[in-house]
Structure 1
Amino acid sequence: MMFLSSWSVVLALGTLVSALPKRECAHTVKESVRPPRGWSKVQPAPADHVIELRIGLPQPNFATLEKHLYEVSDPFHERYGAHLSKEEVDALVAPHSESVELVTEWLTSHGLSEGSMSRSPAQDWVTVKVPVSLAEKMLDTEYHVWSHEASNASLVRTTSYSLPDYLHEHIDLIQPTTLFSTWRGMKSTIHSSKAVQPGTTNNAPPIKVPTASGGEVDASCNTTITVSCLKQLYNAVDFTPSGKDGNQIAVTGYLEQFASIADLKLFYEDQVPAAVGTSFKVTSVNGGQNNQTESEAGDEANLDTQFAFGITFPTPATFFTTGGSPPFIPDIGTPTDTNEPYLQWLEFILAQNDPPQTISTSYGDDEQTVPVNYATRVCNLFAQLGARGVSLTFSSGDGGVGDGDPDPATQECFTNDGRNATRFIAGFPASCPFVTAVGGTTFVPEVAIFFSGGGFSNVFPRPSYQEKAVTDFLDKLAPGTYAGLFNPYVQAFPDVSAQSNDFRIFLEGEPVLIGGTSASSPTFAGFVSLLNDARLSKGLPPLGFLNPLIYAIGAEEPSAFNDITVGNNPGCGTPGFNSSEGWDAVTGFGTPNFGKLKEIVTSGKTLGRRHS
């Protein structure tokens, strides 16, 4: 194999540093997990299989970064909107020099040269490619091929790894080791890809919706969602973005989901005729492709790009396509493990000087399949982007209060801690307090859709911006409701919601209807981008991290959101939570009233009194 010869070069280079002193120190366990339900050990991992190890070094000043983040994101604070530069953020997350030196020394002691190490701009991540045989030696562990029956995914993982004692305080985590993630798109399998006939019409009278543009919405929007429907429903018909004020929007693509430019043309002809002849920029991360063969068009990618970019035209738009996806099939002899693409995208975007101000992601996984230290570090990466003025929206999930299975009857809601206890299953990254999680609605007037992911984290503490809204919601529950099935004292989600059913997209040249919170995230992101355009056109900074603003507006100006009070999100054998007045664990504060939000965020004034 060519890999073996290239590895020999690395070893040869390593001899140049072999004279460095080696520390003799016992290894002790750094992390140990139980394999998540549904994963089975198949066989020992091939010794020459290459793993790209990402080593996270501690960020001793992260608390200071978090303080800056909340100050620049708090609409009551004098620093609101004064986002940090890339250089300022990098300085705040940089590890101690001692950590850098000791980790480098450890890597060179195993024959790795400095040239084989890739470092993040802040030096808080070091990446090296090593064969399984060396990774097992470095980490005093054994890797195996694991198989996930439900998704047909295979991963090379271990359930425990160790480090020399002196390195424990200098390394937060190493992956891929204990992360068993299937990283799926949030597209409901119940409401997806239903073929429709071109030119479908509905001659019924408009539906009266007082908060909509002109107070009414086309009757056809009750069965088919278009860009026009969303702009009517969310009170944005009369707003056209500049397209020339520096505003940008982006969506992320993974798992070989390709966005078809030919389908986008048909979509624009059908719904956004002014955009015909335009397209989006494709940015490849880690060798990501965007193949344009008709049969390779992805429903997820087409949904995200067509609606996010259709709502915001003529705002410059980017599709990030990130290479690497499961499954790794061990008998094919795949030379390099490429099934952890998400960290690669985060490393890439954080290295950019001017990332798009609004980015939507419609992918995620069950929170309990993600090791706590990994979830924490990824969540902290989102905080870095927020501090720099980037708004991040994520789909809240399609399993209600249950796992990713959108059919409540077949969900398995058991803990991974060996107890197999019944427990509501949170989604990640939706449960991270530094992103905006978007739940789902349907129909006009809107109600919660049953698969809208929502509930409570099992990892992240509740941030102060959520305290009043979530406590008010919990106070409405009958005493003992779902006792033991969730922790009422932690981060809750979703934060907001948007339509998520029967979106008319074009796929392989044909119109289809598709649904899921995969639709709600790019939709809400589209309206956030319009708000950013309105601010930038007035010389104001972008909104950045949204949640402190959302919860302040929800308390001070609730009419800026369309409160959803009908519906629930069943799962785990229960009816789930109910939608209710104000924030709830099904639809958050509800869907956006763009006109009201624009008045608030372009006024240059605070929202009024501060809530304790």
Structure 2
Amino acid sequence: MQYLRLSVLCALTVITTPLDSTATPFPPNWNHMHTKHRWNAIPGKWESIGQPPVGTTIDLSIALRPHREHALADAIHEVSNPKHPKHALCFILPPTHVTLLRSRYGAYLSKEQVAKLVAPHPYTLKLVETWLRHHGVSPSNVSTSHGGNWLTVTGVPVSTANELLGASYQLYRYAGTNETILRTVGYALPVALHVHVQTVAPTTYFGSPLTPRERPRGHRGRAVAALSTRGGLVTPSFLRRLYNSATYQPVATHQNTIGVTGFQGQYVGDEDLEKFMRLFRSDARNPTFLVIDINDSGYDPKMPGSEANLDMQYTQGIAWPTPHVFYSIGGLAEEFIPDSFTPVNTNEPYLRWLDTMIRQEDIPQTISTSYGGNEQTFPPDYAKSVCELFGQLGARGVSMLFASGDSGVGGGDCKKNDGSGVVEFQPLFPATCTCGCEFSPLTSSTQAQIPVAHHPATHFAGPWVTSVGGTMGRPEVAAPFSTGGFSNVFKRPGYQTDAVLGFFQQLGSQHSGLYNASSRGSPDVSAQAVRFAIVLNDGVARTSGTSCSAPVVAGIVSLLNDYQLSMNRPVLGFLNPWLYGTASQGFNDITSGSNPGCGTDGFSAVPGWDPVTGLGTPDFQRLLERLPIPIPTPIPTN
């Protein structure tokens, strides 16, 4: 079948609800505080080392509730689901000027349109600014960020932060390291602000240093010769054959871009990348990438890291010559050694990067991230707010790939960190983020405090990311470390219902009580994750983990986007509605292996989706055949 290729311009109008500017709320009582979040004990292996030095300041980020609470979630559904019934007006470019009606799928939003969807009500802004002024915070220290629904408050004395938030900030150090942070085990807000403020950071998010993947082991000289033997190392040529992409040559390189994130002081070695491509992708010439330094990461290509090298080498190995961007992000995940000028580290791992991304006009269509932490180490309000920032990228047509993790159904003793001692499987965040909203009714006191046009809710909208698990061998089986399971924060989206219920029918009562059966399942897809060849410090080494899988799948998604662009179609954007629909038959189903952890044998890979390997591993050619094709149709005249 041949399709008529049309150059179309889709008119996407963002309609905002009129704001009620006549509201006259009761004067708030700033001393009437209610807890926002509190740990029962200091999380994990962190230990208090006392009060910060006198005069220490902290920068606070305050997430405000959007005026239209679920507008962003609705928009992402409409532009990301090929079968969504909503339509957008399109106009064929001159000389015909014919108006058509096209599915809204692929009609991604601009930065400005997203900003309108997430904007807080003017009353919310006014109320929060009044609260800050009440505590002596100068307006000159307050600015908007993250698309307009966050406030950044700089240079706040810790004593003032304690008063603002009913907190007790202290210095904490992770056991056995020099990593020092300024945090509080609990914080509160005035009751009048609870329906306006989603979260404040940094407060109770401690996290933990990300565990390094399997340490690269040197294989200088003899390793290259051993690659062709059975049981040799995984290379781009092996993966391109295995996943059926070897014959595809990218052509839309002037439009398509792929991004790779780097935290923890991880940098890409230029010379290592050149050698890697020379050894394992010999047809590639002059592999390059743009570096964007965020939050003073100290990027230094002469100090390459195994994680950064792995991620860049394998996205390049799959998607070359597609242009690449490496985001080198400083912050909490980076080792921190305090000095007299900067005694504490108050940075969060994702907020600075997301603020930079949201401000950009042009963003890579595919982004790979191989970092995460146990979901329970992220306060729920903080996790949801960060997820909504990822959602802003999804609404703009970005496919976000996250490694699912390397600890099976959970590492360590898997006890809940609420002091209860209860054991439960431990999924990783942000890989668990997803969509779905849950609304709570307004109380009479709330109604008296806020304009009717503003609809506060308990919001579970997420960034709409795609989680990538791990496999190994040929034929492929589940890698035993592939983290998978079910979120304890995010609800299960509708597009995943049939797949998850099909798994539960096979699971039966096994592991009952150790997971949340009503929530989002992870991973979504998977790829090879064991014995990857990389070049590090000019030597060939090997490494394993789902941090190998994520860049592989990201590379394949980037090739699919390349094809879409070459055919004048929209890129894939948020992938999951398509993956769990038409594309589900484009994956190799993995039915063997399991992901033990938490003192159990974990979940097993079974026919269909499972929380070890997701839908399976990609077959590029089969996915090409299932790509969505939005077809404009004339608007009826009657």
Query: How far apart, in 1, do the equivalents of 2:254 and 2:482 lie?
Result: 35
- SS of residue paired to 2:148: coil
Range that drifts further, 242-251 or 356-365: 242-251
- Which of 288, 291, 295 is the matching residue for 1:286? 295
- Which of 232, 243, 260 is the matching residue for 2:269? 260
Cα shift at 1:498: 0.7
Query: How far apart, in 2, do the equivalents of 1:150 and 1:363 lie?
Result: 21
Aligned to 2:425: 424
Query: How far apart, in 2, do the equivalents of 1:121 and 1:516 lie?
Result: 31
Aligned to 2:203: 177
Query: How far apart, in 1, do the equivalents of 2:488 and 2:628 lie?
Result: 37
Aligned to 2:441: none
Runs of 5+ in structure 1 lacking a partner?
Answer: 1-20, 204-217, 404-410, 607-612
Change (3 A) 1:535 1:151: farther
Cα shift at 1:89: 1.0
Matched, 1:344 2:369: no
Change (3 A) 1:289 1:169: same
Cα shift at 1:503: 1.1
- SS of residue paired to 1:373: helix
Change (3 A) 1:287 1:366: same
Cα shift at 1:145: 1.6
1:213-224 superposed matches below 5 A: 220=229, 222-224=231-233
Q: Percent identity, aligned pairs only? A: 44
- SS of residue paired to 2:350: helix
Aligned to 1:215: none
Cα shift at 1:201: 5.6
The answer to whether the 8 A contact 1:243-1:313 is kept is no
Matched, 1:297 2:304: yes
- SS of residue paired to 1:601: coil
Cα shift at 1:143: 0.8
**Could you tell me which amino acid in structure 2 is paired with residue 474 of structure 1?**
F
Range that drifts further, 116-125 or 359-368: 116-125
- Which of 472, 483, 501 is the matching residue for 1:453? 483
Aligned CA-pair RMSD: 2.2
Query: How far apart, in 2, do the equivalents of 1:22 and 1:421 lie?
Result: 39
Cα shift at 1:290: 1.8
Matched, 1:536 2:573: no
Cα shift at 1:220: 4.4
**Could you tell me which amino acid in structure 2 is paired with residue 98 of structure 1?**
Y
**Could you tell me which amino acid in structure 1 is paired with residue 428 of structure 2?**
G
Aligned to 1:209: none
1:62-141 superposed matches below 5 A: 62-77=69-84, 78-120=103-145, 122-129=147-154, 130-141=156-167
Change (3 A) 1:330 1:137: farther
The answer to whether the 8 A contact 2:402-2:431 is kept is yes
**Could you tell me which amino acid in structure 1 is paired with residue 490 of structure 2?**
F
Cα shift at 1:381: 1.4
Q: Deviations over 1:27-55 (max 9, x none)?
A: 33232223323222221233333322111
Matched, 1:198 2:204: no
Query: How far apart, in 2, do the equivalents of 1:24 and 1:223 lie?
Result: 65
The answer to whether the 8 A contact 1:253-1:321 is kept is yes
**Could you tell me which amino acid in structure 1 is paired with residue 559 of structure 2?**
L
The answer to whether the 8 A contact 1:395-1:438 is kept is yes
- Which of 531, 535, 540 is the matching residue for 1:502? 531
Matched, 1:230 2:239: yes
The answer to whether the 8 A contact 1:386-1:545 is kept is yes
- Which of 617, 621, 631 is the matching residue for 1:591? 617
- SS of residue paired to 1:229: helix
Query: How far apart, in 2, do the equivalents of 1:516 and 1:332 lie?
Result: 38
Query: How far apart, in 2, do the equivalents of 1:141 and 1:602 lie?
Result: 50
How does the TM-score come out when normalised to structure 1?
0.87
The answer to whether the 8 A contact 1:51-1:336 is kept is no
Query: How far apart, in 1, do the equivalents of 2:421 and 2:607 lie?
Result: 34
Matched, 1:567 2:593: yes
- SS of residue paired to 1:29: strand
How does the TM-score come out when normalised to structure 2?
0.83
The answer to whether the 8 A contact 1:45-1:144 is kept is yes
Matched, 1:318 2:347: no
Q: Deviations over 1:51-72 (max 9, x none)?
A: 2211111123241221121121
Query: How far apart, in 2, do the equivalents of 1:270 and 1:604 lie?
Result: 40
- SS of residue paired to 2:625: helix
Change (3 A) 1:242 1:399: same
Query: How far apart, in 2, do the equivalents of 1:580 and 1:605 lie?
Result: 36
Cα shift at 1:603: 5.0
Aligned to 1:462: 492
- Which of 161, 169, 173 is the matching residue for 1:143? 169
**Could you tell me which amino acid in structure 1 is paired with residue 403 of structure 2?**
S
Cα shift at 1:151: 6.0
Change (3 A) 1:595 1:202: farther
Change (3 A) 1:221 1:466: farther
Cα shift at 1:341: 3.0
Cα shift at 1:541: 0.7
- Which of 183, 186, 202 is the matching residue for 1:157? 183
Aligned to 1:17: none
Query: How far apart, in 2, do the equivalents of 1:605 and 1:452 lie?
Result: 39
Matched, 1:441 2:467: no
Cα shift at 1:389: 0.3
Give the number of aligned pairs.
556
- Which of 41, 45, 59 is the matching residue for 2:52? 45
Cα shift at 1:277: 2.5
**Could you tell me which amino acid in structure 2 is paired with residue 155 of structure 1?**
I
Aligned to 2:438: none
1:1-40 superposed matches below 5 A: 25-34=31-40, 35-40=42-47
Cα shift at 1:538: 0.4
Range that drifts further, 377-386 or 431-440: 377-386
Query: How far apart, in 1, do the equivalents of 2:592 and 2:615 lie?
Result: 13
The answer to whether the 8 A contact 1:160-1:178 is kept is yes
More helix by share: 1
**Could you tell me which amino acid in structure 2 is paired with residue 234 of structure 1?**
Y
Query: How far apart, in 2, do the equivalents of 1:537 and 1:331 lie?
Result: 52
- SS of residue paired to 1:383: helix
Cα shift at 1:598: 1.1
The answer to whether the 8 A contact 2:370-2:403 is kept is yes
**Could you tell me which amino acid in structure 2 is paired with residue 228 of structure 1?**
S
Query: How far apart, in 1, do the equivalents of 2:149 and 2:339 lie?
Result: 35
Aligned to 1:6: none
Cα shift at 1:108: 2.9
Query: How far apart, in 1, do the equivalents of 2:344 and 2:152 lie?
Result: 14
**Could you tell me which amino acid in structure 1 is paired with residue 466 of structure 2?**
T
The answer to whether the 8 A contact 1:564-1:579 is kept is yes
**Could you tell me which amino acid in structure 2 is paired with residue 198 of structure 1?**
G
- Which of 508, 516, 528 is the matching residue for 1:487? 516
Runs of 5+ in structure 2 lacking a partner?
Answer: 1-26, 85-102, 435-463, 633-638
- Which of 396, 401, 405 is the matching residue for 2:409? 401
Cα shift at 1:412: 1.8
The answer to whether the 8 A contact 2:470-2:526 is kept is yes
Query: How far apart, in 2, do the equivalents of 1:201 and 1:508 lie?
Result: 16
The answer to whether the 8 A contact 2:404-2:482 is kept is yes
